Every structure is written in structure tokens, then in C-alpha cells.
Structure 1
Amino acid sequence: MASHLKVQQQKQKPNLPPGFRFHPKDMEIIIFYLIPKVLKKDFDTTVVREVDLKKYEPWNLPNEVNMGEKERYFFSQKDLKYPNGIQTNRAMNAGYWKATGKDKEIILPPTKSPIGMKKTLVF
């Protein structure tokens, strides 16, 4: 029972130095978090955790994802709308996530080559 409480407390408040702020650039998110996650390399998951978006409504996410002030960062598995299709399922119990605006290309500065795309979603 005590070990369960300790794990839950660590989930809510990571052990970070006073004054720590998490404001990564888009390129840093890809290089230091997304690539190690995809390649299954070890990295610190207290800052960017995995969250199943199907389990949480948007107003409950801040309780589950504790890093960031204006923006929240987390990994989430892509859910397909149809088993053999490519369309993403973004439906929730109370509504759905809708893509808005143009996708933003994320560029690696020294080579000026694209390393990812940023999509903005609204609920």
C-alpha cells in the first residue's frame, strides 16, 4: 500500500529542482523525446508521459499531465477510425478533436531539412 502511494505521488509531482520550467522548442521535443521513444531508448518519462486520450476529457488532462504551463506535452497512441484505413479517430465521449489551421513543418536548423510536422487540434 505504501509503495502504491509513493508511485502516485511521484506521478503528480516530479522531483525537479526549484524554478524548473519546461518550455521545449518543437525541434527539441522531436530530438530529445520523440525519437528516443520511437527507438525504445531509455529516457526520463517524468516530463513527457504516455496518456491514453480515449480515457480523459480535455478538462481532465491537466490532472494527468503535470508538465508545462500553457502547453501540455504527452505521448498518445494514434487510434484509427477504420481497421484498414488511414483516417485518425479523434472522437471522445463529450465531443471530438478537430484539426485546425495548416500543419507546421519543423526544421532542423543546421541542415534546414524537415524532421517533423506539428498539427494543431481543438476540442
Structure 2
Amino acid sequence: MDNLPPGFRFHPTDEELITYYLSHKVSDFRFMSRAITDVDLNKCEPWDLPGKASMGEKEWYFFSLRDRKYPTGLRTNRATNAGYWKTTGKDKEIYQAGVLVGLKKTLVFYKGRAPKGEKSNWVMHEYRLENKYCYKPTK
């Protein structure tokens, strides 16, 4: 990122994250972004993530595969060694030209183990493609 002009900020819209970055990553796992790093969120504590990011001062962007809690189940494992990510509210629908293309989930990190974890100030937004969305990345 050294050759970017002063003042440059990576600040994509929800729609851009879904239709450009995530679509490219899903259609080609080798897709690389200068602004979004691959990371295993189950092996990282939230306070370690800023050091793994390509850029950003208060917001960081990562690609991460969702880990299943049980091999045959659908529940997502969101635990780390120090705590867990808990969903808050309902998913926000992301549209492009009136078509549902993805969903945004908000999660908060709790230190310790459920149900007695201690709420922290760490917030994560998880983006996922809508199942019916055709993976044609925008250019």
C-alpha cells in the first residue's frame, strides 16, 4: 500500500463488498485484494486482527471461511481461544439494482464462554452471498 496517495481510504459500500470483492473470492479462491487479507477468524482474537490487516486504522477487512460447529451441521462455529462472536439483531439485506445479492450480519465479541461471556467493544460485520445470487463478479 506504500504507493497510494496520502489520504487514500478503503471504504467500500456493502454492495461493492458483495458484488465485487466477495463474488470474485467465491468464484476464484486465488483472488487477491490489496485491501482485504485472508485470515482464519477462529484462530485470531479480535485485538490481533489489526496487525494482520493490509490497511485500515479503525476498520479492517478480511476474507475468512466460515467454520462449522459440527461436521454434519449447519451451525457456524464462531469461537476463539479467548471468547466467541455472538450475532446481534437481524441480517441486513444487500441489493443491487433491486436484486438481493447478499446479507450482512453484525456480531459482537464476548470474552469467556457462553452463556457467561463478558461483552466487549469489538464488532464484526459478516457478509455472505445470497444463495440464489449468480456469482458474476462486477468489474
- Contact persistence 2:43–2:81 (CA under 8 A): no
**Higher RCO structure, 1 or 2 (CA under 8 Å, sep 6+):** 2
2:77 is equivalent to residue 89 of structure 1: yes
Structure-2 residue corresponding to 1:114: 100
Structure 2, unmatched stretches of 5+, are 110-139
Query: Which residue matches 1:4?
Result: none
CA distance 1:57–1:41, shift in 2 (3 Å): closer
Structure 2 counterparts to residues 27-66 of structure 1, below 5 A: 27-40=15-28, 43-66=31-54
SS at match of 2:100: strand
Computed over aligned residues only, the root mean square deviation of the Cα atoms, in angstroms, reads 1.8
TM-score by length of 2: 0.71
Count of residues paired in the alignment:
109
Name the aligned partner's letter for residue 29 of structure 1: L
Q: CA deviation at 1:32?
A: 1.6
Kindly state the Cα deviation for residue 51 of structure 1 after the two structures are TM-superposed: 0.5
**The structure with more strand, counted as a fraction of residues:** 2
Q: Which runs of 4+ in 1 moved over 4 A?
A: 41-44
Q: What TM-score, normalized by structure 1, do the two folds share? A: 0.80
- Give unmatched runs, 5+ long, in structure 1: 1-12
Instruction: Judging by fraction of residues, say which structure has more helix.
Output: 1
The residue type equivalent to 1:116 in the other structure is G
